[in-house]
């Protein structure tokens, strides 16, 4: 496969990965439009909530973020604009800002959401009060990525198709 063909495959994987990753976030907004204070529930209801979350946990959306990151970095490298985009130089500043938001979203998912989610799910042992606290952290972390996805999509598309407008 030539590098050009790989660039086309990378763009396809970039958008597919996004559909899974950000799609999961949007589905969360529909399923849980607002945070329900878990500690207001009795122990049995809380345990059932934790078990439901554990059964739903498949990790696909988390690994989709790595597909988005790898395909995005390949497309940057293929265009020879890694440094220009990350340094927000000239016409690459628009795409670059989108990339920085994308990197922030990926770090939020892997270094904030997932470590706390593991406690909620019982994959990492934690006292009940700590698991309850983590449900709020995971809710806010997920919502943050949902909101960040709006400027990220805009800046990526504008950076890809209309950098001269900026």
Closest contact distance (angstroms) between CB of 12 and ligand HEM is 9
Nearest to 128 by CA among 38, 31, 34, 30: 38
Q: Which of 11, 133, 136, 143 binds ligand HEM (CB under 6 A)?
A: 11
Judged by CB under 6 A, the residue of 64, 94, 105, 120 near ligand HEM is 105
CB 32 within 8 A of CB 139: yes
106 near ligand HEM, rule: CB under 6 A: yes
CA angle 10, 13, 17 (to 5 degrees): 140
Q: How far is the CB of 163 from ligand HEM (least distance, A)?
A: 8
Return the number of the residue (49 or 67) whose C-beta is nearest ligand HEM: 67
Closest CA to 142 of 17, 15, 49, 35: 35
Stretch that binds ligand HEM, among 23-31, 35-43, 53-61, 75-83 (CB under 6 A): 75-83
Torsion sign across C-alpha atoms 144, 18, 63, 10? negative
Tell which one of 13, 38, 64, 68 touches ligand HEM (CB under 6 A): 68
Give Cβ neighbours of residue 41 (< 8 Å, ≥ 6 apart).
49
Q: Smallest gap, in angstroms, from Cβ of residue 151 to ligand HEM?
A: 9
How far is Cα 51 from Cα 45, in angstroms, rounded to an integer? Answer: 10
Binding-site ranges for ligand HEM (CB under 6 A)? 11, 14, 18, 22, 68-69, 72-73, 75-76, 79, 95, 99, 102-103, 105-106, 149, 152-153, 156-157, 159-161
């Amino acid at each position: 496969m030539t590098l050009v063909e790989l660039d086309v495959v990378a763009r396809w994987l970039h958008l597919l990965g996004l559909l899974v990753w950000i799609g999961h976030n949007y589905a969360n907004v529909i399923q849980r439009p607002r945070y329900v204070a878990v500690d207001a529930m009795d122990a049995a209801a809380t345990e059932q909530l934790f078990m439901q979350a554990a059964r739903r946990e498949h990790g696909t959306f988390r690994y989709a973020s790595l597909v988005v990151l790898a395909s995005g970095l390949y497309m940057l490298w293929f265009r020879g604009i890694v440094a220009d985009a990350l340094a927000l130089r000239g016409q690459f500043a628009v795409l670059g800002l989108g990339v920085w938001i994308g990197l922030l979203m990926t770090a939020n998912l892997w270094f904030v959401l997932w470590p706390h989610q593991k406690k909620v799910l019982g994959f990492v042992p934690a006292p009940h009060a700590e698991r309850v606290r983590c449900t709020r952290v995971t809710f806010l972390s997920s919502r943050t990525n949902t909101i960040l996805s709006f400027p990220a999509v805009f800046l990526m598309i504008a950076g890809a198709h209309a950098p001269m407008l900026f």
